[in-house]
Structure 1
Amino acid sequence: MILIILCIFALSLGNDVIASFRVDDVIVRFIVNATPILFPPSRVSLHLCQDFYDTIKLSRILSSNYLMHNIHNFYEELNPKIYNNLEHQNLYMLNLDCDYAIDILRQAHSKRLFVAPTKWLLFQDRRAMIDNDNNVNLTFTYNDSVLEIFEDLAIYPDSDVILARRFDGDFLELLSIYRPSSQKDVIWENRGNWTIENGLQMSTFDVASARRRNLQQTALKSCIVVTDPNTINHLTDFKDKFIDAPTKTNYPWILHLANRMNATISFEITNNWGYRTENGSWSGMTGMLERREIDISGTPSFLIPERIDVVQYIQLYTHTCFRFVFRRPLLSTISNIFTLPFQRNVWIAIAVFLVLVFCLLYLSIKWEYNRGRMTESAAYWNQLNPSKPTISDNLLILLGAFSQQGYWYEPYRVSSRIVTLMLLLVSMSLYAAYTANIVGLLQSTADSIKTLPDLLNSPLNLGVHDVPYNRHYFKSVEDPIRKTIVEQRIEPKGSKSNWMSIEEGVRRVRNELFAFHGEIGSIYQLTQDTYLEEEKCGLTEIDFLNVVYPLIMIQKQSPYLEIIKNGALKLREYGLKYHEEYHLYTRKPVCSSQTSFISIGFTECYFALVIMGYGILFSVIVFAFELLWHKR
């Protein structure tokens, strides 16, 4: 079902009478024929100052051709939303011969209705009229002074304003109107013509961003964020790569974009990206864009929900990110390596085997003892086994054989010898496998720290690069895990906060169990310069901010939006974008020499020392009880 909104206003009496013009069949056919090609799809708002009957006729024709429309015949406030929020479908048609045409144009200027994606189609009649009574050509007194108003209107490169000027017969000349900037004069583009016979003849089908790329030395403004004053001296020489790398990367890109648009550009300097203040305004570079003090940002910024309503982002990504970087800790610092050589089911099988061997050994030794005392060789047996074997003796035999430490017992009977032989063979195989795995585990690193909860619960100390954006994002987190990391590990109450320089953070990553949050390209550059080859192995990243790559920002509803978008695509297509990234951002170092000597310290021996300590404590307690027992 087609919704047709028809607003028909009759002419008022008295001093409010407005001159009406007849819209003949040529104009109607032009609207029906050319509008779907020039402005598809559109919802039309017509301001043609017609009389009542012509309005009815025009509405019926537009309806029969499925053009949704409304018609206004006297001056009134323009509605930026003709039907709904789909501004890209809004098309305003205005007859420049109407008495109130200039008022309509000025109102559109004040309401920013010439800004894309809103479209305008203007009509002007420049025909010579014929007096039917005398058959004499009379020149129609059209008023070209109305065109002078475009010198003061905000019709910039993004605007889509077409003027259809009708000459004799059914010939309509189509012109596009725009100004490169408020500093420049109006430019009239020849877009083609239309006749009933030939239809619409376009001179070019190039989009506005391609036709209007030349801004004729328009003066644009930008802003770069600098955290170190010395950055100004090294914007293009690739020195001090780890200082203000995003600014140094994007500065040449902005110059390339300006050159492509034939514009000049000047740079403001600030020390922060811009954040919402308590009174609702924006500071820094974002605030400059909101107040239209600059046209484009010279430093990329993260895409965050708060900024979407204030600025427009351009898909010119800077391939950098900010993460926690740390060396994977040795496995011995995370887990008990003495339990890792075998899986749990193997340990259970070993325990069952030892219990079974203990029982068989107990029975065989006891039977051997009783049997040996009754044989002819009892003297020899008593010499080897002077005392009756006990359960503790069997336990010591089992532990001595299993741990390859030796034992005092010498089996005498075949059955006990078989049990002892099987125990020694199995113990030897398990011991060889166990010790081989221990050697490998001592040199292994842990890969169990993969998420933020893992990082929070790990033995690693945490630190963050002390720059404005890190302080802002870390203090504004709402996620429970991230908030806990900030409160307990970054800014613990009663202790020194862990904000530091990038040099200190990279040094502590090298020498300690430490995770440092910063720009990874800068961290890896210092890593390449200061780490030994084997120290570059095991570097791991964990994302904390959870944001996409930073992007370029421009003004909301900027007149240069599409031109800059196309320029950004060309930078990537031509490879100019990757030139700066390649020179300024260091990739993750390649691990070329992973094997190195690892000294064994208390960390690796911790659990063995704990067992020995408990054993000593238990022996002291037993010894004390024995003393008390004998004194009694």
Structure 2
Amino acid sequence: MQQFLIHIVSEPKVFKGWGVKEEFNLDVYSHMHYKLVTLLADHLNFTLDLSLVNDYGWRLENGSFSGLMNSLVKGEVEFTTSGALMRFDRMMAAELTVATYRVQTSAIFKQPPLSAVFNVFFLPFNFTTWIAILLLLMLFTIAIVFFFRITTMIKNIGPHSSLMMTTLDTGMLVLGAICQQGTSTIMTTTSVRMAFSVLFFTAVFLFTSYSASIVVILQTPSQSIKSIKDLADKSTTFSVLDTAHNYVYLNETKIHAVKKIYQNKIIKTKPSDAFTSAKVGMIRVQKEFHAFLVDTSVANDIIAKSWNEQEKCSLTQLNLFTLPPLTLYIAKKSGYKDSIKQQLILQDEVGLKKRIYNQFMPQKPTCDSLNKDIIIESVSLKEIFPIIAFLSCAMIVSFIIFVLELMSYNMMSIFKS
């Protein structure tokens, strides 16, 4: 009877036995490989003698290996019943069989809202439309001034009459109509009444279109982060799932943008915040402008259980690096290598491997908002900050103009006296 080895990678303390899944974590790959190996034992008619360790086995500075690989080098086990990543350095300690499953690791984050990237109050209309609206307002102003001037000339109305309107007054009246404000101006001719009617009808349609667009835009996430470089340049915080392979591959990466993320967003962060559990990391993604490097299967399980539809639709995933597939390692010069490889290939061909994968892995959450009622969330101060800033500046400018007018009036009074 040979001895075989299985290990629990992420959280050995919560391991309750084979087939018991109280909490979803990276141990799911150990459960999946255990299923494969028990089928292998039935087909090849051998008995399993299992041991548990919590380290896949990484090459140390002195050239030796830790954990799983160390047991293979010392001849303590024949082969592993838990899949480990295919790595060149591990081939010096043991031999590969066949690829079994893949661990997919991605940086998961929510895209920032459009209001954080653009001034959303200009987005409902494109540049050409804004120019057309401006020209339309000028046309209305000129037309109304023309009608008033002709009316005053025909009826001999004095320049100081209450019926007389200046060009500036007319411009303010047109702007008020666009902002859905009425007017107390006395309209004495049909042409003026007609011009005002067309102006207010046009303003209603423009205001309705603008309002409908702005409501949708305020609820829409942007797509400003499309690459790893964008993620590195943005102000988003970053954390990583606390597993050994994330430490290793972040240090070994040759991608400049990933190095920048690691050096600027991870190393400079407190270790307990930089490397954390899946639950803590996903909560930060849910509530903050935060990116979390995590195994997608673990993230999908958390999202499916605790995230609402609106939050699912704003999620984005970026692959910082591609992990090699998992494999079952076997001791050097083992006589069982060919038999085990043939049976693993057969399991893949008849669909047993895929069946086990579908049994354990959660499905990727989908955004089904198009098939459901639209959920409108309350607009926060962050979304309307540009208009608050505009109003604040306008109030300051108005106060400055008021002070200047007051000073001008006092000076004129002094000169007259």
Q: TM-score range by the shorter chain?
A: 0.7 to 0.9
Residues 305 and 569 of structure 1: CA distance in aligned 2, closer, same or farther (over 3 Å): same
Once the two structures are TM-superposed, the CA of residue 452 in structure 1 deviates from its matched residue by: 1.9
Q: Tell me the TM-score normalized by structure 1.
A: 0.57
Asked if 1:527 is matched to 2:307, the reply is: no
Once the two structures are TM-superposed, the CA of residue 250 in structure 1 deviates from its matched residue by: 1.1
Asked if 1:258 is matched to 2:41, the reply is: yes
* Residues 482-528 of structure 1: CA deviation (Å, up to 9, x unaligned): 12212222332579742222222233333333332222222222333
* Residues 556-596 of structure 1: CA deviation (Å, up to 9, x unaligned): 56543332222112222344323432333211234455633
Q: Tell me the TM-score normalized by structure 2.
A: 0.83
Asked if 1:554 is matched to 2:330, the reply is: yes
Q: Which has the larger radius of gyration?
A: 1
Once the two structures are TM-superposed, the CA of residue 601 in structure 1 deviates from its matched residue by: 1.3
Structure 2 partner of 1:281: 64
CA contact (8 A) 2:2 2:78 kept: no
Residues 348 and 305 of structure 1: CA distance in aligned 2, closer, same or farther (over 3 Å): farther
Amino acid at match of 1:336: N
Asked if 1:241 is matched to 2:36, the reply is: no
- In structure 2, which of residues 384, 388, 392 is the aligned counterpart of residue 609 of structure 1? 388
Once the two structures are TM-superposed, the CA of residue 479 in structure 1 deviates from its matched residue by: 1.7
Asked if 1:514 is matched to 2:290, the reply is: yes
Structure 2 partner of 1:180: none
Cα distance in structure 2, aligned partners of 1:585 and 1:518: 15
Instruction: Identify the structure with bigger relative contact order (alpha carbons < 8 Å, sequence gap 6+).
Output: 2
Residues 297 and 378 of structure 1: CA distance in aligned 2, closer, same or farther (over 3 Å): same
- In structure 1, which of residues 623, 627, 630 is the aligned counterpart of residue 402 of structure 2? 623
Structure 2 partner of 1:21: none
Runs of at least 5 residues in structure 2 that lack an aligned partner in the other structure: 412-417
Residues 602 and 567 of structure 1: CA distance in aligned 2, closer, same or farther (over 3 Å): same
Residues 557 and 441 of structure 1: CA distance in aligned 2, closer, same or farther (over 3 Å): farther
Once the two structures are TM-superposed, the CA of residue 290 in structure 1 deviates from its matched residue by: 4.9
Asked if 1:338 is matched to 2:115, the reply is: no
Asked if 1:267 is matched to 2:44, the reply is: no
Cα distance in structure 2, aligned partners of 1:459 and 1:418: 54
Structure 1 partner of 2:229: 453
Bigger share in strand: 1
Structure 1 partner of 2:100: 317
CA RMSD, Structure 1 to Structure 2 (Å): 3.3
Mean Cα deviation higher: 250-259 or 298-307: 298-307
Structure 1 partner of 2:148: 368
Instruction: Summarize the alignment of residues 38-77 of structure 1 with structure 2, pairs less than 5 Å apart.
Output: none
Structure 1 SS opposite 2:4: strand
Asked if 1:389 is matched to 2:169, the reply is: no
Work out the number of aligned pairs and report it.
408
Cα distance in structure 2, aligned partners of 1:290 and 1:339: 66
Runs of at least 5 residues in structure 1 that lack an aligned partner in the other structure: 1-217
Cα distance in structure 1, aligned partners of 2:79 and 2:14: 20
CA contact (8 A) 2:8 2:53 kept: yes
Amino acid at match of 1:530: S
CA contact (8 A) 1:223 1:296 kept: no
Cα distance in structure 1, aligned partners of 2:87 and 2:408: 76
Amino acid at match of 2:301: Q
Residues 583 and 629 of structure 1: CA distance in aligned 2, closer, same or farther (over 3 Å): same
Structure 1 SS opposite 2:24: coil
Structure 2 SS opposite 1:326: strand
Structure 1 SS opposite 2:294: strand
Instruction: Summarize the alignment of residues 175-254 of structure 1 with structure 2, pairs less than 5 Å apart.
Output: 219-230=2-13, 232-254=15-37
CA contact (8 A) 1:238 1:584 kept: no
Residues 511 and 366 of structure 1: CA distance in aligned 2, closer, same or farther (over 3 Å): same
Structure 1 partner of 2:415: none
Structure 2 partner of 1:93: none
Structure 2 SS opposite 1:547: coil
Asked if 1:576 is matched to 2:352, the reply is: yes
Structure 1 partner of 2:257: 481
Structure 2 partner of 1:585: 361
Amino acid at match of 2:349: E
Structure 1 partner of 2:238: 462
Structure 2 SS opposite 1:277: coil
Once the two structures are TM-superposed, the CA of residue 326 in structure 1 deviates from its matched residue by: 3.4
CA contact (8 A) 2:5 2:50 kept: yes
Residues 515 and 315 of structure 1: CA distance in aligned 2, closer, same or farther (over 3 Å): same
| Percentage of identical aligned residues | 25
Once the two structures are TM-superposed, the CA of residue 399 in structure 1 deviates from its matched residue by: 1.8
Cα distance in structure 1, aligned partners of 2:343 and 2:64: 31
CA contact (8 A) 1:238 1:583 kept: no
Cα distance in structure 2, aligned partners of 1:308 and 1:623: 81
Instruction: Summarize the alignment of residues 399-414 of structure 1 with structure 2, pairs less than 5 Å apart.
Output: 399-409=175-185
Once the two structures are TM-superposed, the CA of residue 295 in structure 1 deviates from its matched residue by: 3.4
